[in-house]
Amino acid sequence: MQRIRYSRYLKSIIILLDLMVIASIFILFFISRNEDLKYHKETWYQNAFSLVLIFLFWVLLSGRTKIYNIPRNLTYTLFLERLLIHFISFILGVLLIGKVSKNVFFNSDIYWLSFYLFAFIFSAKSLIYFAIKYFRSLGVNYRNVMFLGNNDSTDILKNIFKDRKDYGYKIFEYKNLDIHTEELVDFWKSNGIHTLFLSTENSYSEDVESKIFKLAEDNKVHISLIPSITQSDFFLYDLGYIQTQPVLNQARYPLDYYSNFLMKRTFDIVFSILVLVFICSWVFPMIAILIKTTSKGPVFFLQKRYGFHEEVFDCLKFRTMVVNDESTTKTTEENDSRITKIGKFLRKTSLDELPQFMNVLKGEMSVVGPRPHMLAVDNYYKPKIGRYSLRSMVNPGITGLAQVNGLRGDSGDVEVEMKKRVLADAFYVRNWSFVLDLVIILKTILLVIGGDKNAK
C-alpha cells in the first residue's frame, strides 16, 4: 500500500506559520511605536502593500537560501548556517524596501525588530528541527527505501540509516537477486517504496539497469546511485548544463574560492595567536616538566606528515610515547605499551596537539581540517580508497569533523573505520563553511574538557 507523503504538507504549514509570525511581529511592533495611528484605517491600507512585499521577498529568498528544503540527513550546523544567511539577507532586503518606499512601517526601530524576529524564528525553527528529528526516530514521517546491489558503500549507508533513526529511513530488503518486472513493481507498491538506492557496481546488465530506471520512472520511485568507495571520479566532478546538454565539470570546493580561503587563514592566525599567548604560555612549561620527569627523551616529537597537495612537513606534538624506532611506521594500538602515563592523559585530552598551533602559524596546518596521518598510513590507504586524495585539497587540521564524531580510524574494524573517517573528511572538504569550523572547534573544546573516550 502506497504511503501518503506528509513532507509536502509539512513544508507548506511551516511556511504559513513563518509568514504569520512575521506579520504578527511587524504589526505588533508597528502598533507599539505608532500609538496615534492605531485606529487609522487608511494607515493600515497603506502599509498592507508593504507587508505583502515582505511576504513575497521572504518566500522568494527562501528559494535561494533553501531554508525549507531540508534533507533528512541535514546537520544542525548546516541548518543554522542556512537560517543565518537567510535572515541577514532578509533584513538587508527589508531595510532596502524601507529606504525605497519611505514608509513609516520601516522606521529606525527596524534593528530592534530584527533582533526580536531572529530570536523568535531561530528558537521556533530549532524546536521544529529537533521535534521532527525526534518523531522520525519514533517511526513517524519515515521514508521507505530499498537497496539493489551490494558493496562497501551500500553497507556503510545501511549502517548509517540503522544507527541514525532520526533520519527517518526504513529499509525493506528485496531478497530476489534476479529482477522480475512484475515482482519488483509489486514489491514497491506493497511496501510504499519511496527511494531505490542502486549501487553503481552491480551484477546487472545494461538492459536490466535500463529496465529498472524505466520502471522506477513509471512508478514514481526515486533512484539514488551509490558509487563504490573506490570510485573517486564521482567526487571530482559536478553536473552542469550547456543549454540542454549535460556536462561534467571539475568540482570546485568552497576553499578554492579566495574569499573563503582568506577568511579561514585570517581566523587561523588570530585564533592561534590567542591560544599560544593565553593558554600555551603557561600550559607548555607544565607539560614539558611532566614529560621530562616521567620519561627519558625530548619534550617534543616531530613526525613527517602530508599536508596541502601532499607536501611533506614536520608535524609538531608533545611526546607521549617512550622513544622507539617504530614511531613513524606503526600506528597506535589499544593499551599500547609505548604510551607513557602522562602521554595517556595528554592523548585523552588532546593536549599533545597544542604545539601544532605553531604549524598553523607557519601555514602548514589549519585549526580545523582533515587530521594528517603518518606517511606510511597515507601511502597504504590512498590506493585502496578512491576519495582519499580529497583530504589533501585543504590544509590538514589540529581537529576535524571525523575526530569530533569519534571517527579516529584506528579502532574496531580498522579498514571500515578508516573508510568512515575518509567519508567525513571528504564531506568537510566539499561542504566547508566558517560556521562548520566554529561548531567543530566548540565540540573539540567539550571533548578536551570531558576527555575523548576514543583516544588511545
pLDDT at 364: 95
pLDDT in tens, 273-315: 999 999 999 999 999 999 988 888 899 989 999 999 889 999 9
Task: Label residue 428 by pLDDT band (50, 70, 90).
Answer: very high
Say if residue 236's pLDDT is above 80: no
pLDDT at 388: 83
Instruction: Report the C-alpha gap between 155 and 415 in whole angstroms.
Output: 13
122-130 — which CB contacts under 8 Å span 24+ positions? 122/83, 122/87, 124/17, 124/21, 125/67, 125/79, 125/83, 126/76, 126/80, 128/14, 129/70, 129/76, 129/79
Instruction: Report the C-alpha gap between 234 and 229 in whole angstroms.
Output: 10
- Among residues 195, 197, 200, 196, the alpha carbon closest in space to that of 234 is found at 200
Of the two residues 76 and 28, the one the predictor is more confident about is: 76
HEC assignment per residue over 431-452:
CCCHHHHHHHHHHHHHHHHHCC
Strand 245-250 versus strand 300-306 pairing type: unpaired
Task: Label residue 140 by pLDDT band (50, 70, 90).
Answer: confident
pLDDT at 285: 94
User: Mean pLDDT, to the nearest integer, of 194-205?
Assistant: 82
The SS3 assignment for 395 reads coil
Considering the chain, what is the average pLDDT of its residues? 81
Say if residue 41's pLDDT is above 90: no
Of the two residues 27 and 332, the one the predictor is more confident about is: 27
User: Mean pLDDT, to the nearest integer, of 378-398?
Assistant: 87
Q: Domains in the chain, ordered, with CATH?
A: 7-137 (no CATH), 143-228 (3.40.640.10), 256-450 (no CATH)
Q: Which of 51-60, 260-269, 277-286 shows the lowest per-residue confidence on average (mean pLDDT)?
A: 51-60
The x, y and z cell numbers of residue 66, run together, are 533553501
Q: Which of 303-317, 396-410, 429-443 shows the lowest per-residue confidence on average (mean pLDDT)?
A: 396-410
Task: Label residue 367 by pLDDT band (50, 70, 90).
Answer: very high
181-200: burial string, b at 16+ Cβ within 10 Å, e else? eeebbebbeebebbbbbbbe
- Only one residue has cell 577568511, namely 263
Q: Which of 40-49, 250-259, 365-374 shows the lowest per-residue confidence on average (mean pLDDT)?
A: 40-49
Instruction: Report the C-alpha gap between 291 and 215 in whole angstroms.
Output: 66
Task: Label residue 1 by pLDDT band (50, 70, 90).
Answer: very low
Continuous segment of H or E residues that includes residue 404: helix 401-404
- Check if the beta carbon of residue 385 is closer than 8 Å to that of residue 229: yes
